[in-house]
Structures are given as structure tokens and as C-alpha cells.
Amino acid sequence: MSESKPESGPVINPRVTCEGCSVLLDINDGDRLVFARLSAGSTLKIGNKTYSLQPLIGCPFGSLFQVESGKEKPYLSRFVPPTEENNVQDEGGSQLQEESRDNRAIIDNNQAQTLTGEDIDAMRRQGATGNEIVEALIANSATFDKKTQFSQEKYRLKKQKKYAPRVLLRRPFCRSICEAYFKKYPARIGFLRVDALSLLLSMANVTANSDALVVDMVGGLVTGAVAERLGGTGSVCSTYLGGTPYPIEIIRMFNFSDEICKRILRCSFNDLCSVQIETGEQVSQHEDDCTMESQSNEKTSLSIGTEDVHLSSNNGDTDLVPENKLSSSSKTCKAPKAGEKAPKEAIQSWKENGFSSLIIAAPEQDAWGLVKDFLPLLTYSAPFAIYHQYLQPLATCMHNLQLEKMAIGLQISEPWLREYQVLPSRTHPCMQMSGTGGYILSEFQVAQLGDPPPPWVNLSRNKNSDRISNRNFWLIFQWLNPRPCSLSMVSGKYANWDCAFCIG
């Protein structure tokens, strides 16, 4: 499924479909959602019939299509509903007569409809449109006139959906992709609901020109959402622990331009932390640091002085598959150019400046473990947000962050979302509702000691932050250990830090 979009040439109008772009098809007003890639040969199945998607190419997003009976077989045709038609459903809108009918006399014995299945098939063969069939069904229903007005509307709508299905062409955007997945395959995105995702993006202050670090274990949805907000500026680094990148296929759905695609980069955690490479004058200092680390660091497998990027042995991982091989094999199942391995210049820049936001969406992992590892890569005063399906790991993480004073403004939030049906005289919350959209822990990174460290020093902080041994950070080492000063954090309120005696 990796057809390439026309790359060079005129700017692709993002509001019109084109050959090879991905679309979201909304069948019967939200009843069914299907992702598809438009091409001459792609098809869609509705009921027991298959329809070609060719007519959809070149149409604006938001177009509506209806099934029409063609000469050979039914096809999808573009359909613009006249404005009057919508009023039919409301029967003149606000002016509703006093409804005198009710359903006391209606017996549901499956005998009300006189048209049979064969009759309908015959009508179809004669070329009747879907709407005509619906009208015929209504005309032949013994109980239709006895129904209340609302009930009639419901009946008409139901028949329409079956005999004259409509397909709405939707643009795959962060919102529609998230909603579709949440409805169809919520487990694949870790039950991340659309409002939780929007909170993650806001709380992490994802904006243009920012460098975002994302730990995305929800199929690529968060990476894609961040890339969408970056809009072709800044960069988003989708990182991973160990040697295998997490799958991020969902970014293929987004129809990203090349400019956006090339800013979606991948880099393993090890590479992000690795010792500096290629800058000659700092090599000797690195060797010093490496020596210090290897002496105090229990992971003595660290190779001293070799500034090579492949330090996968560092974490004790036996997965030593070289990075290049992995990324090239996973390249074939990614959209062209998105999710490329981060080039050395990018890694360099990230290390020097730090990332400006961090989002962790790892609904099956321990939050604290991940935060400990990734937090040092974040620059000072940068916000970060962690999503989890369960509350407990976030509570533990928040508690630890409070104790170790690594962050301020800590807050665990749970979004609550309810949809309403708004119709004349029939307004109420929808009968169905999502029970949970997950939990989010949000906070701001603080600067340690107030003095900016030289860039290369950050690396050593990454290796087991609870065993920090770098000589420039011995002060922090004492400060971060849980000390009597944690007494002052009374009743879980993290605000009363009157513990000046903690320092030094």
C-alpha cells in the first residue's frame, strides 16, 4: 500500500483529493468508517456490493456520494443535497404542531411492510434509485401514518441508510483519524480519545519551530498529530528504548506533504544519549567523562573513547541489530520519507539545545521508568505531558517527580467528554458515551542549579539518573536523593518547598 503521491509539480491543494492520497470514508453518517487510498483500482464494499472509488478522485473533501444504479452495475456518484432536503427532516423546523399520535396501537409483528425482498430487487433491476425505493417502502407500510413525526423521520432515515447509502469523503486529519481509531480499534491507540490527544498537544505546547520528543507507542497517532501542528517547521523525534523502533504506521494516513514528512525523524534512546561524535576539540573531555562513568557506572560494557554511535550494549540490551538495517527494513512499510532515521546534525542540535517538549504515550509501560530516562533530554522550562490508560502508574510517577524535584506544576487530569443530540424538542445528551479517555500527567521541567551546563555534560545525566556521578553534578546528586526535606511536602501538596537546607 505504498503508492507515492506526485511529488514535484504544482502545490497539491489539500482540500481536494488526488490520486494516491489517503482518505477517510464515512458511510451513512458515521455508522462505518473506512480508511482508503484513492487510485483507479481501489474499491469499497457496502453491504454486499463493491463500488469503485475512482469517481472520488479530484473531488473536494466534504463531498457526498450516493449509490446510483448504473448501466452495468451500481456506482458512486457525486451528490449535492439541495438545501430544502434538510428541512424535510425537520418538517418546517421550529414550528411543530402538537403531536397527537403515539404508538399505543402499533404492534410490531413484522407484517407492516407489504413490499417483499424480491419486489425490491425487481425495482432495482428496473433502475429505480435508492430514494425511489425508500419512498415505495414508505408508501407500502401500513403503520407509517400512525407513527409520530419523529418516528417517521427515524424510519425514513433507517431505510435510506440501507437502500440509498451515502458516502462522505473526509479529509484524514488528526481529529478524524483519532476518532475513527477510537471507534474501531481503540486498543491500537491505547484508548487515547480525541480530547485526551488534544490536551496532550496543548499541555506540551507543541507549536511551530519547536523540537518535540515523542515516545509513541500508540501506533504513530501522537507523532502524526505533533507533526501536523509543526506544519513543516521544527522537528519531531519519535524515540524508542532498545533496538527496535515502535511501529508508527498511522502517520501514513495523514497525507503529509514532503516538507512535513522530512521533519518526522526516528532516533533510538541510545543514539540520543551517545557520547559526542566528530567534534575534535571535545574528544579528550569526553574520554575523561567516559572514564569517570565507566568506573562508577556498573554497566562496564560501555566502550571508552570510541565515539561511535552504536552503543546499544550500554543498556545491557543484547539486541545488537545495527540501526541502519532496522530502519531500512522498516522503511518499506512507511510512507515515503516520513520516519527516517535522524541525521547526525539533527541529533547534535537536539543535544545542544534540548527538546522543547516531551510527550510520552506508552499506555502499557511504567511511566516513571520512561520519564527518568527521557527527562534529561528536555530543555529547561519545557513542558511535558504523559498519557496513560491507568491512573496508578501516573500517580507513582507524579509522586516520584515531586520527591526528586525534577518538575513543577504537576497535575494529573482526566478529560471527560459528552456529546449531545440537539434536535427540536429532542435535545439531550447522547445515549452512548465513552467511559474513559485515559489520564494525563502534565508538568514543567525545571533548571537544575540555575547554571546552564555545557552541552556534552547532559549525556552523563541520562545514564541512571539515580546514580549520577558526573563530577559537575555532584551537587545535584545530593539534592535529588530523597532527603528529610521531603517532610515539608505535606499532604501531597507539592508547593511548600521551604527547604533551603537541601541545597549543597
Partner 1 sequence: MLLMDSSKKISFNRCIREGDLVIVYEKHDTMKAVKVCENSVLQNRFGVFKHLDWIGKPFGSKVFSNKGGFVYLLAPTPELWTLVLSHMTQILYIADIGFVVMYLEVVPGCLVLESGTGSGSLTTSFARAVAPTGHVYTFDFHEQRAASAREDFEGTGISNLVTVGVRDIQGEGFPDEFSGLADSVFLDLPQPWLAIPSARNMLKQDGTLCSFSPCIEQVQRSCETLRSDFTDIRTFEILLRTYEVREWKMDHSKFEDGSSIAGPPCKRRQPSSEASVGDDTSFPAVVARPSAETRGHTGYLTFARRKCVS
CB of 305 to partner 1, least distance (A): 25
- Closest Cα partner for 24 from 14, 12, 33, 15? 33
> Considering beta carbons, is residue 59 or 112 the nearer one to partner 1?
59
Nearer to partner 1, 121 or 352 (CB): 352
Nearer to partner 1, 101 or 399 (CB): 399
Minimum CB separation of residue 358 from partner 1 in Å reads 13
Cβ closer to partner 1: 48 or 425?
425
Least CB distance to partner 1 at residue 359 (A): 13
Please state the closest distance from residue 352 (CB atom) to partner 1, in A: 7
Dist. CA 150–CA 156, nearest whole Å:
10
| Shortest distance, position 115 Cβ to partner 1, whole Å | 31
- As measured in angstroms, the least distance from the Cβ of 494 to partner 1 is 7
Neighbours of 136 (CB within 10 A): 17
How far apart (Å, rounded) are the C-alpha atoms in residues 118 and 139?
17
Of 311 and 378, nearer to partner 1 (C-beta) is: 378
DSSP code per residue over 303-368: PSS---S--TTTTT------HHHHHHHHHTTS-TTTTEEPPHHHHHHHHHH-BSEEEEE-TTS-HH
Instruction: Give 386's contacts (C-beta < 8 A, 6+ positions apart).
Output: 359, 360, 361, 367, 370, 371, 394, 397, 440, 441, 442
Q: How far is the CB of 477 from partner 1 (least distance, A)?
A: 17
Neighbours of 83 (CB within 10 A): 7
Nearer to partner 1, 321 or 503 (CB): 503
Residue 218 or 382 with smaller CB distance to partner 1: 382
If the CB atoms of residues 173 and 182 are measured against partner 1, the closer one turns out to be 173
Beta strand 211-216 pairing with 235-240: parallel
CB 202 → partner 1: shortest distance, Å? 4
User: SS3 for 44?
Assistant: strand
> Three-state SS for 167?
strand
3-state SS assignment for residue 142: coil
Rounded distance between C-alpha atoms, residue 143 and residue 138, angstroms: 9
Q: Which is nearer to partner 1, 85 or 102 (CB)?
A: 85
Closest CA to 171 of 379, 17, 376: 17
CB 350 within 8 A of CB 169: no
CB of 21 to partner 1, least distance (A): 15
Interatomic CA distance for residues 317 and 301, integer angstroms: 11
